[in-house]
Structure 1
Amino acid sequence: MKLRLRYALAFGALSLSPAFAADIATPAPGEATLAEQPQAPGDDIFGFTSPSDTGNVGEKSFSLESTTRFGKGNGLYVTPSVKIEFGYAIAENVWVALSPFVTNYRIRDVAGIDNLSRTRFDGLSSELIWRFLPRTPYGLAASFSVEPRWAQLDGVSGLGVNALSAEFKFYIDQVIIPDQLFAALNLNYQPGAQQAFAAGSPWVSGSATNVSAGLTWQITPSLFVGAEVRYLGVFDGAYLNRTLGTALFVGPNLTVKFSEKTALNIAWTPQISGDANGVGGRLDLINFERHQLRVKFASAF
């Protein structure tokens, strides 16, 4: 599985390399000037896949993001998590944010997981995004992000833990057809460790990866529809030491812009294939869920 993941990462990088090479070249006389550059909407128009935008200097933002993971085996498994994000563009191409989390777990009759029904505060995260490649005359832009996270609940069982992680993210997006078609690619790596609340419990390290790509079509100035592919992996050890499971998610998304700076994005990706280490079956329902649904309302001011 680790070899397959490396192939996926390499394929994603190589597929954009010709466009990247062309974009960093100096435009010839008569080509698009800065004022004529094709622009991408600054909202989450790709679903789970993030854009590279960092907003205008001094711009503040607020978002309410609900991510629901549901479906494991034959039992009931529903875990909606709410992220409340406060963001600020502190400089040109630099954006920071602080986010508290609240998560609900409803688990019943799922093999290997205790029944649970409760809602808890689930820690905090902060994020720094640096857009190191501003939008070029060819419509390409790229950003790097780091998001440290402190959590109080185990991501699968919902039991109380102390968990520390940091997600490193690489975003590329491209204006394919101005005001019509947009594409994005994300490469994410997240090492971390967690400790159960029980006295004497050791810290256990792990890591995760996420390779995702999205394509979005602008139907009207306020309506976008798209689809994305996401390949997720979880590993024992902070450095992708041993593969525990992988899963491929594919699904549609919809974005409605209520104004220039306010939008609603809805994304749904069911798992279409997966592989849990040492467990047979077409899907990995040990480490992942059958479905992941995200609803995000965001506003800038």
Structure 2
Amino acid sequence: MSHSNTTEFINPSTIILLGIPGLEAAYVWLSIPFCIMYIIIILGNFFILFIVKIEPSLHEPMYYFLCMLAVTDLVLSSSTLPKMLIIFWFNSREIDFNACILQVFFVHCFAVMESGIFLAMAFDRYVAICHPLRHSTILTNPVVARIGLAAALRGIMIIFPYPFLLRRWLYCRTNVLPHTHCDHIYMVKLACGDTSISSYYGLFVLFSGKCVDIFFITISYFQILRAVFRLPTKEARLKTLGTCTSHICAILAFYIPSFFSSFTQRFGKSLPLHFHVPIANIYLLVPPMLNPIIYGVRSKQMRERLLRLFNCASKS
């Protein structure tokens, strides 16, 4: 297919992913940290799923939500990173148009799901600290399952219009995408004509998904802080806040790069592509890598279970 800027075509059969424009000479070196990150993501999140499955003491709402987060992180990173490494290692830049649309859906859908899971985890912390005697009756296993299903359905419903909006545009400029993966806003920039509906809907997704979640997470932690400061001793306050540390760190690791990437894409037009593209990848890859480390290090129960596994392995 011609890459001409003058040829008009609708739904090109392939999209050409450039990777990180301007850093082509460093692809081999760049692949090393990204490959290490992917290995950590795979091992770390499967470790979370395995430990929670085999340890009965971890069969409680917070760890069920953590398992949902691990599955979401695995899908989110696996939707983009393998193709990125293929570009870096083999210079294989083509991706089928339908596969590109599917990648857009998976990336944004699971990002919204992850945001919803963080909100669910904040609700769990709120109930555990503000209503500790009712925690087991409020967050029963069926309720936890329904919350997880609601987070998944919300992500699907909010992102469902993306593929249809992207298919309706006339791609008359080029089929070359200056990115490592297919991203909604970059696909919109390839299209001709008035694509404002896609741009506005992208902002709607940002605010109706992540911004709404941040609002309710903030309210949850406001109530948590009120309850904590009512505790009689400093030791009790610190111990209670310590149960929220992992969740707060994970939230910051997810939302800060996410919003920074979204706003630089829309308002940082003067910034070079070799700045935009890595930032977009950081928000998709760093949180899935950090979440197992954060929760694995902070959770005493998970550390103890891991030590028992190592002791059993060494004795055998």
| TM-score where L is the length of structure 2 | 0.22
Q: Larger C-alpha radius of gyration, 1 or 2?
A: 2
Q: Report which of the two has the higher share of helix.
A: 2
Which structure carries more relative contact order (alpha carbon 8 Å, separation 6+)? 2
Q: Report which of the two has the higher share of strand.
A: 1
| TM-score where L is the length of structure 1 | 0.23
